[in-house]
C-alpha cells in the first residue's frame, strides 16, 4: 500500500494548522494583569479548578490545531494505491502478450487420439483471449528456433485470435529466455498506450530441458531489468507438455564421409534412441526406403548403450541425387520416426594430378599416382576418369572449374598465381592432397600456402634433412576412427607399420585446427589434415615415389590413395542434409539461367526461390523449411532442366523430450518472479494483479467533524467540577443566609 496525494500544489494549506497556536500566543501577549484584592481569598480555595481550566485551554489549542490540519489535508485529496488480485475474466481491460512454442516437440501426443501439446497451447491461448474484457489489447508471438512471427505492438483481440488459430509447427529448438525477451520488447514498444491496464505475459510451451539453455545469471539479470519497465508484467508459464513423455526416434542417418560413385557399395548408418523409457529388448523393425518406395528391412535389438545401430549396404547404378529414408514404427511424435538423406552419386571422380611427367620410363612421383588412380598396362592409354597430369605452371582456372580433387605430386616452383588458384579452389570446397617430398621446396610452401597459419597448409614446412636418416622409420595411424583408415583396421587389410620411410619433410608450427592422422616413430607427422572453409587439405611429408619410402611398392598404396581421394572429393553432407528452419542454398551450375528457380516442398507445393550473388556465383536461396522431408530445386540449363535435392529433418534436440527439473523451474520463480502452471485450464481461470486507488479525503473530513464536536464538548463541559456552583454560592452569600 503506497500513499499519494492528487493536489500537491495545495501543500501550503497545511500551515493553517499552526494558526490556533499562533492566535493563543498573540492573545496572551495582549492580556493585562489586574490586581483584585478579593481574588486573594477565592483562588487559594479553588486550585483544582484553576488546574482544570489550564488543561482545558491546552486541549482547545490541540483540538483546533488538529481540526485545521485535517481540513487542509482533505483539500490535498490524499489516496492510497494498493495492488490486489482480481479475476482475470473480470470487466477490467488488460494487456496480453502470448508466446506459443511452435517447435516440433510440441507435436507430441501422450495419447494416440488425444491432443498434441501445440493443440492444447492453442486452445488455452484462445480461451484466455475470449475471456478478456472489452478494451483489452493483445499480441501473439509464434516462436521456435527456425521461425518467429509476431506483431510488433499490442493490437486488437481479433488479430491476436487469428494469429493463435494459425499457429503451426515451424521447427527449431525453443528458448524460453528468448521468448520472454521478445514479449518484453512488444510491451516496451506499446508502453505509451498501455499504462492504463495491467500487463501479462503468457508462455505456452512443453518446458523441455533444452528450452532453458542460456539460463545464466547475466542473461537473467538483463531480462529482469527489461521486465522492470513501467508496465511490470506478470509472467505465467503454462506447461502444455506431457508429464512423463516417451519418444522413440531416429537420431542420425548418414553415409560414410567418402565420395559416392555409381556401382560402388554405399555404407549407410542409422541410430535409433529413446527418451522417457529405454527401448524394448525385442527386435525393432528398421526399414531403409529409396525414392521408389522399395527398400530393405532389419530387425534389431538395442545394444549395450541402449540404442539400436543399423548398418545398410546399398549399391546405386545411376548417378545423381539419391533420396533415402530410414523409418521405424510410429509413436507419439511422428515427425522423428523417419529420417531422410540425400546422397550425391557421381558418374566419375574428376581429379587433377599436378606433377612432372607420367612417362612409363620415369620413376618420378606423378607416374605412381597416375597408375594408382587408373591402373592399366604399361603402354595403355589412361581412361577419362581423371584429368591428365600437368605441371604446376600449367594450371589454369578452367582446370579447377569442374574438379573435385587436386593432387600435387611435385613442386619444382610455386608462383603467386598458382598459389592463389589452389587456395581459392580449396576454400570453395575442393580437396587438395599435397606430397611434400621430392623436389618440393619448403620455402615456397611456407611463404605462399602457410603464411603463419593464414593460408591453407596444415603446418609450416621446414627444409628437408640434407643427409638421410640412418635409422628407418615406420608410420603409425594416430586417428584410428578417421574415414580414410576405416578399411585398414584389420591386419589382413594392410599394415601401415610395415611401410619403411627413409626421408621426409620436417614440419614446424601447425595451423589452427590441423589434425595429425598418421605419424612416424619419432612423432614427426606423416599425414596431417586441415579443414579450410568448405574444403580439406591433407599434407604427406613423403613423396609418392620410392625415393622417400617403399609405400608406392606396397599393396597399401592403391587403397590408401583411393580412400584419400574419395575422402577429399566427398561433398559436405550438411549442404544437402539440413534441419528444419535451416536455409537451403544451391550454387547454380554453370550455364544455368538464374531467372527463375522453382522449389517443390515435401507436400508437393511449388514456390519460387530467390537468387542472389555470393562468392562470384549465382546462388538460389530458400528459407521456408518448415516441413520435414525432401525439397527439390530445379532450373533451366543449356541441356534442359537441372535439379538438386535436399533433405530436411527434425533436429535431434527436439526429439529428446527431457523435461526441465524442479531446480530450473524454481530458478525461474526466484529470478524472474514467473509462475509455472502445470494444468492448462488453470491458466484461464486465474487472477491478475491490479492497482487500485482509494480516496482518503472523506475520512479526513469525518475526523475534522469529530474534532469540531470535541471542541464544543470541551467548551461546554470540561473544567466544571461537580461542586463548583455550591462552592461559589457559599463564598458569595451574606452571613446568616443559607
Listing DSSP states for 400-413 in one string gives HHT-SEEEE---S-
Interval 353-366 mean pLDDT: 60
Return the H-helix or E-strand segment holding 433: strand 431-435
Mean pLDDT of 330-346: 92
Q: What is the pLDDT of residue 361?
A: 45
> Residues of the chain with pLDDT > 70: what percent?
80
Whether 37 has a pLDDT exceeding 70, the answer reads no
Beta strands in 6-129 (DSSP E): 78-87, 95-101
- pLDDT the model gives residue 725: 42
What CA–CA distances, in Å, run from 489 to 375, 527, 708? 24, 17, 107
DSSP 125-142: HHHHHHTSPTT-EEEEEE
Give the best-scoring range by mean pLDDT among 200-204, 260-264, 674-678, 733-737.
200-204
Average pLDDT of the residues in 430-454: 77
The pTM score is 0.71
Report the pLDDT value the prediction gives residue 360, as an integer from 0 to 100. 46
pLDDT of 689 higher than 60 = no
Query: 374 or 315: which carries more pLDDT confidence?
Result: 315
Q: How high is the pLDDT of residue 89?
A: 45
Q: Which of 28-37, 195-204, 301-310, 385-394 has the lowest mean pLDDT?
A: 385-394
Lowest mean pLDDT among 124-128, 371-375, 568-572: 371-375
| Least confident stretch, 389-398, 441-450, 562-571 | 389-398
Which of 222-226, 495-499, 536-540 is most confident?
536-540
484 vs 466, 529, 542, 678, 694, CA distance in Å? 32, 11, 18, 52, 80
- 525-532, strands of its sheet edge to edge: 387-390, 351-354, 405-408, 431-435, 535-540, 525-532, 515-519, 476-477
Percent of the chain scoring above 90 in pLDDT: 20
Q: What is the mean pLDDT of residues 113-138?
A: 90
On whether the 89-244+657-685 domain is CATH 1.20.140.10, my answer is: no
Q: Does domain 351-569 have CATH number 3.40.50.880?
A: yes
Over residues 214-223, mean pLDDT: 74
Mean pLDDT over 537-559 rounds to: 86
* Whole-angstrom distance, CA of residue 571 vs CA of residue 346: 11
Confidence of residue 460 (pLDDT cuts 50, 70, 90): confident
CA 278 to chain centre: 28
pLDDT at 466: 41
Q: What is the mean pLDDT of residues 279-285?
A: 91
Helix (H, G, I), strand (E, B) or coil at 720: coil
For residue 517, the model assigns a pLDDT of 92
Class of domain 247-342: mainly beta
Please state the rounded mean pLDDT for residues 411-425.
Answer: 80
Is domain 579-649 in CATH 2.60.40.1590, yes or no? yes
If one compares 31 and 298, the residue with the highest pLDDT of the two is 298
Q: So what's the pLDDT on residue 33?
A: 62
Residue 74 has pLDDT above 50, yes or no: yes
Q: What average pLDDT score do residues 330-340 get?
A: 92
Amino acid at each position: 500500500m503506497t500513499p499519494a496525494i492528487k493536489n500537491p500544489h495545495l501543500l501550503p494549506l497545511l500551515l493553517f494548522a499552526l494558526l490556533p497556536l499562533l492566535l493563543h500566543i498573540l492573545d496572551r501577549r495582549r492580556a493585562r494583569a489586574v490586581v483584585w484584592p478579593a481574588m486573594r481569598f477565592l483562588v487559594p480555595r479553588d486550585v483544582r479548578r484553576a488546574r482544570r481550566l489550564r488543561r482545558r485551554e491546552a486541549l482547545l489549542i490541540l483540538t483546533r490545531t488538529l481540526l485545521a490540519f485535517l481540513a487542509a489535508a482533505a483539500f490535498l485529496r490524499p489516496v492510497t494505491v494498493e495492488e490486489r488480485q482480481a479475476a482475470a475474466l473480470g470487466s477490467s481491460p488488460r494487456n496480453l502478450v502470448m508466446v506459443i512454442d511452435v517447435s516440433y516437440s510440441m507435436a507430441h501426443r501422450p495419447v494416440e487420439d488425444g491432443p498434441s501439446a501445440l493443440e492444447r497451447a492453442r486452445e488455452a491461448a484462445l480461451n484466455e483471449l475470449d475471456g478478456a474484457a472489452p478494451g483489452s489489447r493483445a499480441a501473439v508471438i509464434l516462436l521456435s528456433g527456425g521461425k518467429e512471427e509476431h506483431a510488433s505492438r499490442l493490437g486488437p483481440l481479433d488479430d491476436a485470435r487469428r494469429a493463435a488459430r494459425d499457429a503451426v509447427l515451424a521447427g527449431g529448438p525453443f528458448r524460453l529466455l528468448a521468448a520472454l525477451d521478445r514479449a518484453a520488447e512488444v510491451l516496451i514498444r506499446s508502453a505509451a498506450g498501455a499504462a492504463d491496464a495491467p500487463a501479462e505475459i503468457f508462455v505456452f510451451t512443453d518446458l523441455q530441458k533444452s528450452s532453458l539453455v542460456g539460463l545464466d545469471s547475466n542473461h537473467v539479470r538483463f531480462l529482469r531489468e527489461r521486465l522492470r519497465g513501467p508496465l511490470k508484467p506478470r509472467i505465467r508459464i503454462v506447461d502444455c507438455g506431457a508429464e512423463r513423455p516417451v519418444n522413440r526416434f531416429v537420431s542420425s542417418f548418414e553415409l560414410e564421409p567418402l565420395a559416392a560413385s555409381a556401382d560402388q557399395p554405399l555404407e549407410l548408418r542409422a541410430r535409433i534412441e529413446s527418451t522417457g523409457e529405454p527401448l524394448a529388448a525385442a527386435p525393432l523393425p528398421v526399414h531403409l526406403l529409396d525414392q521408389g518406395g522399395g527398400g530393405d528391412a532389419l530387425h534389431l535389438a538395442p545394444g549395450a548403450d541402449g540404442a539400436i545401430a543399423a548398418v545398410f549396404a546399398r549399391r546405386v547404378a545411376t548417378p545423381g541425387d539419391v533420396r533415402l529414408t530410414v523409418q521405424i514404427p510410429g509413436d507419439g511424435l511422428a515427425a522423428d520416426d523417419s529420417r531422410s538423406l540425400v546422397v550425391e552419386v557421381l558418374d566419375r571422380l574428376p581429379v587433377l594430378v599436378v606433377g612432372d611427367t607420367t612417362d612409363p620410363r620415369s620413376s618420378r612421383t606423378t607416374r605412381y599416382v597416375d597408375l594408382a588412380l587408373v591402373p592399366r598396362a604399361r603402354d595403355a592409354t589412361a581412361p577419362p576418369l581423371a584429368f591428365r597430369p600437368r605441371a604446376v605452371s600449367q594450371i589454369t582456372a578452367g582446370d579447377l572449374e569442374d574438379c573435385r580433387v587436386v593432387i600435387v605430386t611435385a613442386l619444382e616452383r610455386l608462383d603467386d598465381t598458382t598459389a592463389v588458384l589452389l587456395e581459392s579452389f580449396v576454400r570453395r570446397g575442393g580437396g587438395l592432397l599435397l606430397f611434400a617430398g621430392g623436389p618440393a621446396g619448403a620455402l615456397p610452401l611456407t611463404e605462399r600456402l602457410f603464411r603463419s597459419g593464414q593460408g591453407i597448409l596444415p603446418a609450416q614446412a621446414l627444409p628437408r634433412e640434407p643427409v638421410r636418416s640412418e635409422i628407418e622409420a615406420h608410420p603409425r595411424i594416430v586417428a584410428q576412427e578417421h574415414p580414410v583408415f576405416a578399411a585398414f583396421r584389420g591386419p589382413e587389410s594392410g599394415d601401415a607399420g610395415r611401410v619403411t620411410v627413409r626421408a621426409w619433410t620436417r614440419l614446424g608450427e601447425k595451423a589452427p585446427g590441423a589434425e595429425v592422422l598418421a605419424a612416424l616413430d619419432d612423432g614427426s607427422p606423416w599425414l596431417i589434415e586441415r579443414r579450410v572453409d568448405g574444403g580439406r587439405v591433407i599434407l604427406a611429408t613423403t613423396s609418392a615415389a620410392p625415393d622417400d619410402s617403399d609405400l608406392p611398392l606396397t599393396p597399401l598404396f592403391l587403397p590408401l590413395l583411393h580412400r584419400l581421394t574419395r575422402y577429399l572429393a566427398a561433398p559436405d553432407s550438411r549442404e544437402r542434409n539440413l534441419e528444419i528452419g535451416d536455409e537451403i542454398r544451391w550454387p547454380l551450375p554453370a550455364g544455368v539461367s538464374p531467372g527463375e528457380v522453382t522449389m517443390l516442398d515435401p507436400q508437393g507445393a511449388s514456390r519460387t526461390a530467390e537468387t542472389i550473388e555470393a562468392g562470384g556465383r549465382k546462388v538460389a536461396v530458400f528459407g521456408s523449411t518448415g516441413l520435414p522431408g525432401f525439397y527439390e530445386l530445379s532450373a533451366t540449363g543449356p541441356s534442359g532442366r537441372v535439379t538438386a535435392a535436399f533433405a530436411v529433418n527434425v533436429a535431434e534436440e527436439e526429439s529428446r523430450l527431457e523435461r526441465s527439473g524442479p531446480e530450473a523451474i524454481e530458478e525461474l520463480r526466484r529470478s524472474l518472479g514467473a509462475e509455472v502452471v502445470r494444468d492448462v485450464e488453470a491458466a484461464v481461470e486465474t487472477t491478475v494483479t491490479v492497482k487500485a486507488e482509494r480516496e482518503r479525503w472523506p475520512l479526513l473530513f469525518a475526523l475534522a467533524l469529530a474534532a469540531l464536536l470535541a471542541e464544543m464538548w470541551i467548551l461546554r463541559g470540561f473544567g466544571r467540577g461537580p461542586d463548583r456552583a455550591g462552592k461559589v454560592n457559599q463564598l458569595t452569600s451574606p452571613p446568616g443566609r443559607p
